[in-house]
Amino acid sequence: MNRLLPIISLLLILLAIESKAQVSPESIDEKIENILSQLTLKEKVAMCHAQSKFSTPGVPRLGIPEIWMSDGPHGVRGEINWDNWGYADWTNDSITAFPALTCLAATFNPKLSYDYGVAIGEEARYRKKDVLLGPGVNIYRTPLNGRNFEYMGEDPHLASIMVVPYIHGVQENGVAACVKHYVLNNQELWRDHINVEVSDRALYEIYLPAFKVAIEEGKAWSIMGAYNQFRGQYCCHNEVLLNNILKEDWAFDGVVITDWGAAHDTKESALYGLDMEMGTGTDGLTLSTKNAYDNYYLANPFLEMLQSGEVPISVVDDKVRRILRLMFRTNMNPNRSFGRMNNVEHQEVAREIAQEGIVLLKNDNSFFPIDPNKKMTIAVIGENATRSMTIGGGSSELKAKYEIAPLEGIQKRFKNANIVHSMGYASGPPAYARVIPSPYDADSLKRAAIEVASKADLVLFFGGLNKNHHQDCEGGDRLQYALPFGQNELIDELVKVNNNFGVVLISGNAVAMPWLPKVNGVMQGWFLGNETGHAIADIISGDVNPSGKLPFTFPVKLEDNSAHHFGEISYPGDSIKQIYKDDIFVGYRWHDTKKIKPLFAFGHGLSYSSFNISNATSSKKTYTPGEEITLTCKVANTGSKDGMEVVQIYVGKPNSKVERALKELKAFKKVNLKKGENQTVQVSFNADDLAFYDESISDWNLEKGTYLISIGNASDNIVSEIEISIK
C-alpha cells in the first residue's frame, strides 16, 4: 500500500491540474504571448518562411510543430519531394478526387458545398495536412483563363454563397482552408508580374465580395495572395489589399501566405501584410546556394532588418502571433479528429456533386435521356471518353485512388447496348508549361471515327478541353475560344453520316459551338473526379434528372465577352499593364446590359422534367435600409419526372444615378420536387445588398427609389417581375 501512495498522490495532482484547467483555462491569446516571449528573434523569423516545398519549420526545443500544406482544392495532392517538384513516389497517398469547383458552383447547392468541404477536410486531416490550399474564388472574367476550372464562376454572389460552407466543412476537421488567389488573378498569362488597374467600384462589387465573405462569414484561417500586381504593388505584399482591406477593414486574424514565389521585396513583405513566404526561387539546395530557404525575403534579409532596427520587432511579433493562432486551430489543437480517406461516403459525395453539377444545355427532340435497356449500337467517339482528367492541370492535379472514365461508366450502365469507341482526335499526354505532340495520325483517327459513327444507331461525342498546357491548366491561358485538336471539323463530318447526335463537353471553360444547330443534345460535363463515368451515365440514362445551372456565360464568339470587347489592354494587357475596361460589367451583366445574346446564359440548365414558377410576391412594397426583403413564389413540377429547379432572384435599379447592370443575382434557392408536386418557396436578402460602391465617398451607397426584382430560372429566362421601393 505504501508503494502505491506516491502513484496515488501523482494521480490526484494531475486530476487537480486538469480540473483547474477546465475551470479557468488559459486563453489562446495568453498561450500565444507566453510562447512568443520564449522565442528568439531567429526562431520567430524562421516561422515566417518555408523549410521545404510544402512546410514551414517549427521550434523543436519548445515542442512547436512544423506546418504542413497541400495543394487543393479538388483533392489532396500526392506527396511532393522536400526540395523539388518531383513526386515522392509514396504508395499510400492516393486520394478521393472530387469534381472541380466549377462543377460545385454549377450545383447551386450550398449543402453540397458543405459536404464537399467536410469530405476533403477529412482527407487532408488523414494525410496530416494543416493547411489545404483552396478554395479558389477568383472571378471568371474571360473564357481563356486556364485556371477557371478551379474557381466558382463569374458572379460574386454565387461564389460568396458557395464558398462559406466549403470553408466551414474543411475547418471542422482542424485543417485550415486557404482561400485563393487574393485578388485579381483572373488570367494565367503574365500572372507573375502583370499590373492590374481596376476601378474601386469594380474591385468592391465584383472581385472582393467572395473573399470578404470567406473571411467574415466563413472565418477562413488563412488566405493566399495572388501573383499579379495591383496598382503597382505585388498582391502578396500590398498595403491597400492586405493591411487596409483584409486586416483592418475585415479584421482578418489568420495568416497571409504567398503563392509560391510571389514575394519580391523584403521590406514590403515585412510591412505590407505578408505573414508566411513559400516557394521563392528555390530548388531547396544548401545554405551556400543563393536561393536556399534562409535567403528568402522573409528569412535572413528580414532578420537583418529587424536586428538593425529598420523594421520594428512588433512587425515579426504580429506575424508569429498569427502563425501560432493558426497552429492552435490546427496542429496544436488536441481536439481535432483523425480524418478519413478514400471511404465510400467520400466517393458518394463526389458522385452526388458531379450529378448535380452536370448541365444539360440543349435537348432537341428529347435526345436525352437514352434508354439504358434498349438494344442498339452506340458510337462513343472522342479522346475525352477515355482520357484521365485527374492528372494534369498544374497544382490541382491529383493522384486518384481510381477514376471511372465516361466510356467505362456507359459500358457498365448500358449493358444491353453494343458500345463501340473510336478516339476521333488526340491531344498528346498531359504536361505542365509545355505541349507534347500527339503520336497519333489525325486523318486516320478521323476516318476510323466516321466509319464507326456511320454504323451506329446514335453517336455520343465526348470532346471539350483537357488539363494540358494552353487548355484548362495552371500557368498558361487558352490560345483560342474554339475547340482544339480539330474537334469542330470532326463533328461536322460525323453529323453527315449520323444525325442522331449528342455532345458531352468535358471542360472547365466555355467553348465556341459552331456545330450547335446540327446536334440534338449538349451536356456540360466539367472535370468530375473519381466518379466521372458513373455520374455521366447516371444523367445520360435518366437515372438522375439533370439540375445543374451554368455558373458563367457562354458567349457566341470571344468578342462578345466583356474583357475582350475592349481590346488587348483589357485582356491580356500589354505584358506590363492591364486595365479592366469592362469595369463592373462582367459576364451576364455585360450581355444583359448591352443586349448581346449569349450562346448559353448564366444560370441556364435544362431538366428532363418541366417546372413552372408563378405567384411571385414580396412581403412589402417599401423597405428601409437594413431590412430583410422576403419573396415568395410557387414552384410546380409539371413534368413526368422527379427533379430539381433553381429559383433565381435578380435585382436592377431603373433610373439610377450611376451606371448599373440591368440586373444582378441577389438570391437563389434549389428546390427538389416530385413529379406533379408544387411548393411555396421563400427567398430573402437584405435591402443593403442593393447598394453600389460609391467612389465619391469611398463607401457603399444605398439609393432610395424604385427597384425591379426579376424572378426566373436563368438570367435570360425571367418569368415574373416585382417593383419595390427603398426609403
> Which residues carry out catalysis?
259
Nearest-10 crossing angle of helices 344-357, 532-541: 50
Residue type, 494: L
Kindly state the helix (H) or strand (E) to which residue 726 belongs, with its residue range.
strand 717-726
DSSP string, 92-161: S--BPPPPPHHHHHHTT-HHHHHHHHHHHHHHHHHTT-SEEE--B------TT-TTGGGS--S-HHHHHH
Peptide bond before 406: cis, by omega within 30 degrees of 0?
no
Alpha-carbon Rg for the chain, nearest whole angstrom, is 27
Residue-wise DSSP of 642-684: -EEEEEEEEEE-TT-SS---S-EEEEEEEEEE-TT-EEEEEEE
The three cell numbers of residue 340 are 478519413
Which residue blocks in 330-463 are alpha helix, DSSP H?
344-357, 406-413, 442-454
Nearest Cα to Cα of residue 335 among 527, 174, 115: 174
Beta strand 195-197 pairing with 577-579: parallel
Could you tell me which residues come within 8 angstroms of residue 557 by beta carbon, excluding any fewer than 6 positions away? 481, 512
User: Is residue 308 exposed (0-12), middle (13-18) or buried (19+ Cβ within 10 Å)?
Assistant: exposed
DSSP 185-251: ---STTTTT-EEE--HHHIIIIISHHHHHHHHTS--SEEEE-SSEETTEEGGG-IIIIIIIIIIIS-
Cis amide prior to 181 (ω within 30 degrees): yes
Pairing of strands 67-71, 55-56: antiparallel
The total number of residues written for the chain in this structure: 727
What residues pair up with 579 in beta bridges, in sequence order?
Answer: 197
- Kindly write down the DSSP assignment for every residue of 689-708, as one continuous string: GG-EEETTTTEEE---EEEE
Dist. CA 367–CA 353, nearest whole Å: 23
A 10 A CB-CB count for 157 gives 20
Percent composition of the chain: helix, strand, coil (DSSP 3-state, to 5): 30, 20, 45
**What SS3 state is found at 714?**
strand
User: What is the full DSSP assignment across 556-605?
Assistant: SSGGGSHHHHT-TTTTT-SSSEEE-TTTT--THHHHHHHT---SB-TT--
**Strand partners of residue 637:** 611
Instruction: Show the CA angle centred on residue 376, arms to residues 370 and 382, nearest 5°.
Output: 70
Are the C-beta atoms of 607 and 639 separated by less than 8 Å?
yes
Q: How far apart are CA 153 and CA 526, in angstroms?
A: 13
Task: Give the HSE-up count for residue 209: Cα atoms under 13 Å, Cβ half-sphere.
Answer: 23
Cis check: omega of the bond before 73, within 30 degrees of 0: yes
**In Å, how far are 297, 354, 468, 474, 508 from 478, measured between CA atoms?**
33, 24, 10, 10, 12
Smallest Cα–Cα separation from 492: which of 517, 522, 521?
Answer: 517
